[in-house]
Amino acid sequence: MLVFYKERLVFLSVPKTGTTAYESALRDRADMVISDPPELKHAPVYRYNRFFRPMFDKVCHAEMETLAVMREPISWLGSWYRYRRRPFMAGKPNSTHDISFDDFVEAYAKGDPPGFARVGSQAKFLEPRPNGTRVMHLFRYEAQDRLRAFLQDRLDMEIATARENVSPEMPLSLSPRVEEKLRRKCAEEFALYDSIA
């Protein structure tokens, strides 16, 4: 999570959406950089609303705008799958070394997925709160030019990012049956992604 106090902007860090690269590029410019522990670095809207928003509101009397990035749902799951196939993950409970991508996605689509497929939900991460707290500026991961242009304008600076924390490259595809199941069981993920202008 990055906080730019003067600009009244909080950049929420959705896992597997390239935010580590922005954290590295903007850490010297940010007023607050929350990079650890992961539960705070990757604080979803509900956690931001409960712990961070009241601090800005009550202590600083500042209303902050929130920004986040969402990745196309199948691509996002592919990134998690590849991330959990890194060599040092072999033999660990969350490893996907001996699991096909179809099996990983099928497990993810279950109501209570096993540990290797328990990666959360972008839609849940970004879910607005009853008090109106929500992500005001939502960008597609696949539209980095729009995100960069917004940040450069808002922060009045040029931004150069390098790829970081990248999952190993490998071709992945879902069978039509598993993709249909994912789209049906996780329709809110696709609906939210499709709603991003």
Query: 65-70 and 9-11: which strand pairing?
Result: parallel
Q: Are 27 and 34 in contact (CB under 8 A)?
A: no
Q: 68, exposed or middle or buried, with CB in 10 Å at 0-12, 13-18, 19+? A: buried
pLDDT tens across 145-171, in order?
A: 999 999 999 999 999 998 877 777 888
Q: Are 14 and 40 in contact (CB under 8 A)?
A: no
Predicted TM-score (pTM) of the model is 0.93
pLDDT at 139: 98
Q: Are 154 and 83 in contact (CB under 8 A)?
A: no
pLDDT tens across 3-28, in order?
A: 999 999 999 999 999 999 999 999 99
Report the range of poorest mean pLDDT among 35-39, 116-120, 191-195: 35-39
pLDDT at 166: 72
Going by C-alpha positions, the residue among 106, 88, 108, 84 that lies closest to residue 96 is 84
pLDDT at 168: 72
pLDDT at 145: 95
Asked if pLDDT for residue 77 goes beyond 80, the answer is yes
pLDDT tens across 92-139, in order?
A: 989 999 999 999 999 999 989 999 999 999 999 999 999 999 999 999
pLDDT at 115: 94
Q: Are 12 and 138 in contact (CB under 8 A)?
A: no
Query: Which class in CATH covers the domain with range 2-195?
Result: alpha beta
Q: Sign of the C-alpha dihedral, residues 87, 93, 97, 101?
A: negative
pLDDT at 171: 87
Task: Indicate the angle between helix axes 187-195 and 73-83, nearest 10 degrees.
Answer: 120
